[in-house]
Structure 1
Amino acid sequence: MKKTLAVLTVGFTLLMGANSTNAVPLYDGVSEPNETLDQQGWQYLEDAVKSPAPTATPTSEGTLLDTGNRKNKAGYFKVSPVLLDRSSGYAISFSVKISSETHTNDNRAGFSLIVMSDSVAGETQPYGLELGFWKNGVWAQNVGFTQGEKVTFNVQKTMNNYVLYVKDNQYQLFINGSTFPILQGELRQYTGFTPPAGYSNPYETSNLIFLGDNTVYAKANVTIKSVSASPVGNVNLSNTSGN
């Protein structure tokens, strides 16, 4: 897929500028003393149905989340204090190391990121994106929860710094200071999901960020180092790709 260098470079420059000057830290995993995400305002939920149970441990690198058995689910939820306005643009920066990940369904991942934008008047539910992380790559979750666009590379045992940039109905994912996105596409409305009794639907929750394991078909051992959110504007992604 061809990319327009000028547009991407401008977009990336503005994005990084916003991250450095306007970023709101949502989690700092190397603060002193070391703390897990729930100790810094995130909600931790788990569904431990089989041994070994999930564990979340503060370390010098961040929160070490081990979901134990693939039948278990565990992760962190937060409604962003930064309005995730896709009309004006926003960025989510996060640093994650995937130490291990296994799955029994190719449409599921042991570690996922969900980011839901702010709702726009007239929408039945907000637009957003779910990304699945394997040891050998990252991919986007389609509506209907099947594997969408993906990129293959070895992410295992390395702390990678990601920036998810959203503008209008488009997203781009950057890694480790790259000026080209490793993944890009359209946002989704994840309809058709029914949450367990007593739980809210994350895909219908505006400005929501989730990090963790949300499936009974996979498990992972990951370290979450940091998360931040930034408002970003005045970048047009409409000409960033072509055949």
Structure 2
Amino acid sequence: MIRTLPFVMVLLAVVQPASAVTLYDASLGTLPGSQHWLAVVDSDTVESYTGMYASLDTTAVRADQSGYFSEDPFTGTIVSHPDMPTLDRASGYTIGFAVQVLAEAHNARDDNGDGRDDRAGFSVIAISEDLRGLELGFFADRVWAYAAAGEGADSLFTQAEGVDFDATADVVDYQLSVLGDGYALLADGALVLAGNLRNYNPSGVSTLTDPYNNPSFLFLGDDTTSAESHVLLGDVTVELFAAALPGDANGDRAIDGLDYLIWAEAFGDDPAADPPGAPENGDFNGDTRVDGLDYLVWASNFGRGPNNATAVPEPTAAILLLLGLLTCTLRGRRHR
């Protein structure tokens, strides 16, 4: 069970989607390779379309590695999905994928001696534009994140945070949401896993097949010789989120009086409350202080948001300036 939620979940609760694209549409009756994915399928792997989902079965030979790449890892140009967007973790994005793990088996391989097996028969890799991302491993009864180097002795590509979860009962609609340094994994709308993104470089993987050094990259499949799986794969989507609005202290995507009140309450804080430089503390310009410069950021963006057309009429510049000066005077005295 997840006991605490990272800050990413608070932001994801209020952030608004900007655009969404479908990278694989299972209802079209074709396999991912026919929808602009690079399909790498070993000779012993069985790939088929079931009538509703793509089926990928690597259980015949455990050493087989097969799956679907959003672009070829070596050049990124021989095959590149034309609809693949830039995965900007600063503004945020969500990878949606529907998967049922029909079968999975793996070697007893514990690379770092923590008593947990470190290879999964099905993986999802999502790499942001700046190469920070995540690889998720799926057992039949567990979902977990692969660790990067520096998370303990011999930690690279070992099992990090994870949760016991039945991945076999039905096709599950997963959402991997990324924002800033964090991620959250939802299964049919319920939060199951959360943690920090990783940079897996240098990965030690051959440059011909290295997925971790490719900006804005996705992979779904079996990428290890130490495990096997049979999965059903449904739709794969990417939803991008709009960048945060300057002056939005409460994260409701509207710059209004509520944000002003948060700034006014924090005015004079130096340094700003933890985490310094965060808009929710009234520090809109990121200089770790809450002062008149932050007020100017709020005032210059006042009225922006999804409901601009029906918003309360914007105060005149003179009124905003007087309001800010009055607050600075009163609050400044109190903090001294």
Match among 56, 61, 64 for residue 47 of structure 2: 56
C-alpha contact (below 8 Å) 2:8/2:179 kept by paired residues: no
Please state which structure has a larger fraction of its residues in helix: 2
| 1:223 maps to which of 229, 232, 242 | 232
Q: Rg larger in 1 or in 2?
A: 2
Which of 20, 39, 45 matches 1:23? 20
Unaligned runs of 5+ in 1: 120-125, 239-243
| In structure 2, C-alpha distance between the alignment counterparts of 1:94 and 1:13, rounded to whole Å | 22
CA contact (8 A) 1:137 1:151 kept: yes
Amino acid at match of 1:110: G
Give the counterpart of 1:139 among 144, 149, 160: 144
Q: Taking every aligned residue pair, what percent have the same amino acid on both sides? A: 33
RMSD, matched Cα = 2.5
Residue 66 (1) aligns with residue 67 (2): no
* One of 27, 40, 43 as aligned partner of 2:38: 43
For residue 5 of structure 1, report the CA deviation from its aligned partner: 11
Q: 2:126 aligns with which of 115, 131, 142?
A: 115
CA contact (8 A) 2:64 2:224 kept: yes
Q: Partner residue of 1:165? A: 177
Specify every segment of 5 or more residues in structure 2 that has no aligned partner in the other structure, as ranges.
72-82, 110-116, 149-155, 245-250, 253-274, 276-336
- Residues 28 and 62, structure 1, Cα contact 8 Å, conserved in 2: no
Distance 2:6 2:134 in 1: 24
Deviation at 1:131, TM superposition (A): 0.1
As a proportion of its length, which structure holds more strand?
A: 1
Q: CA deviation at 1:2?
A: 3.5
Return the alpha-carbon distance in structure 2 between the equivalents of residues 128 and 210 of structure 1: 12
Kindly tell me: are residues 204 and 37 of structure 1, through their superposed partners in 2, closer, same or farther at Cα, counting changes over 3 Å? same
Q: Which residue of structure 2 lines up, in the alignment, with residue 122 of structure 1?
A: none
Structure 2 length-normalised TM: 0.60
C-alpha separation in 2, matches of 1:204 and 1:5: 26
Q: What count of residue pairs does the alignment treat as equivalent? A: 219
SS of equivalent residue, structure 2 residue 33: helix
Distance in 1 between the 2:26 and 2:180 partners? 31
Between 1:220-229 and 1:21-30, the stretch displaced more is 21-30
The yes-or-no answer on 1:86 pairing with 2:81 is no
Change (3 A) 1:40 1:46: same
Amino acid at match of 1:70: R
